[in-house]
Structure 1
Amino acid sequence: MIGVAQFYARDIPEAPFPKDADLLQVLWCPNEHDLYDIWGPAPHLIWRRTNDLVDVLAEPSMPHHATPDSPHHAPAATLSREAYLPRPCILHPERVTEYPYLEELPEQLQTALDEWDDQTGRHYQSLLSIAPGYKIGGRESWHLTDMYELPCNVCGTETQPLLTIASSEWDGDSQPRWQPLEERHLKWGAPECEETHEPTMLTLGRYGALTIFLCPQSAEHGYRLTIQ
C-alpha cells in the first residue's frame, strides 16, 4: 500500500469525518484489481487522530517497480503499475462553486442549456458545471457513462463524492475555465506546464479520474468507486 492523499478535518470541515478522527489518509495497492464497480488500484481509507501519532516515517517506503523487459524484473504478481505510483506533491485546496451535472437537471432546463451552448459556443459541462482535477467533495461528472446510482452496500443510502483523484487538472475543453490564472503563461509542453497540468503523474482509466464515494450515514460503511 502506498500513500495517495492526506488531509485534515480542520482544512476540509465539509468532509464526513467520524467523530473521533481528524486526519484521513488514503492509501491504495498500485496493482490492477477487480473492485466490483471498476478495475483499478484498491483504495484503503484510514481515519486517525493526530494526537495518537507517535512515529512518522521520514522516507515512506515505495513498492517495487520494474519494467517487463528488464532482465531482473520481479514476478508479475509483485509488480506495481507505474500509472498508479503518484509523484509526491502538495495539495493547495481552493474552494470553487460547482453546478449539477446536466443529467441531474430537469429536462426543460437541459434543453435550455443545450440551446445556450449552441448560441454562445460555450459548454455548460466543461466550463460551468463540474470542476475537473484532483478535488475533495464536490460533484461527479458522468461524461464517460450514463449517470447511475451508487448506494451504500451496508444501508442503501446514496453515497456522495469524498475524493476525486484525477489524471490531470484540466483538459482542452475545460482549460479556459479551470486552468489557474497564475499558470496560463506557461507554454504547452514545457516541463513547468506538465508539472502543473499533471502534478501527480497518475493515469486512471483512459486518462480519467477515479472518485471515491462515501456513505453519509457512516464512514465505516465502506466506499463505492467510479472512473470517469
Structure 2
Amino acid sequence: MKDNIVWHEHPVDKSIRSYMKKQRPCLLWFTGLSGSGKSTIAGAVESKLADRLQHTYLMDGDNVRHGLCGDLGFNENDRNENIRRVGEVANLMVDAGLIVLTAFISPFKVNRECVRDMLKEGEFIEVHIDTPIDECEKRDPKGLYKKARAGQIKDFTGIDSPYEAPEAAEITIKNVDISVHDAADIVITYLEDRGYLKPAEINNAALELS
C-alpha cells in the first residue's frame, strides 16, 4: 500500500512560512516526571513568546488524551504510540513554521530520539525538567503518586515504571528553588542566543509560485 504513496511537494514551504512568522520553527520537548513542572514551565514559556508576538502551539500530555490519543492506555506499547502520534503532529506544526512546545513525561529515551529523528537538525530541543522524585511526590498536584503508592495506578513512571532521564538535553532546568518566571527565561535565552526568534532565511526559489 505504501508503495503507492508519494510525498507531494507544495510551492509554499517551511522557509516561506517561517519567514512570514519572523521566527525559526522548532520543537521544544519538555520531559520530566509527573509533577516536575513541565506543563507549568512550558505554559510560561509560551506566554513569554506570545508577548513577543511569536507564533506558537503548546501540546500537553493530558490534553491530547482527550482526543488525538483518547483511544490509548498507559501500558508500554500505548505510551510508545502516544509519543509517536504527538511527534508526527508536532513535526507537521514545525513544518507550518510554528514554535511548538510539548509537555510529556515521555519516559523512554528511544521514543524521544524517534521524535528527534523526525525533525531536521536543530529543530528538536529537548528540555529536561529535572525535579527529584521526592519533590514531585511532595507536590503531587493530581494525587497520582498517592494512588500509585496505594497500588491504584499501575505502570506509573518513577514508581513501578522507569524514567530514563536525558543524558545530553539541550536545556536542563533543575526545578527546585527556582521561580517559574526564571525557569522560563532560561528557555527564552536559549532561543534568543541561537537565533530562533529571528526570521529564518527564506528559500527565494520557492517564491516563484505557480
TM-score band, normalised by shorter chain: under 0.3
Q: TM-score, normalised by structure 1?
A: 0.21
Query: Quick check: which one's helix share is greater?
Result: 2
Query: Quick check: which one's strand share is greater?
Result: 1
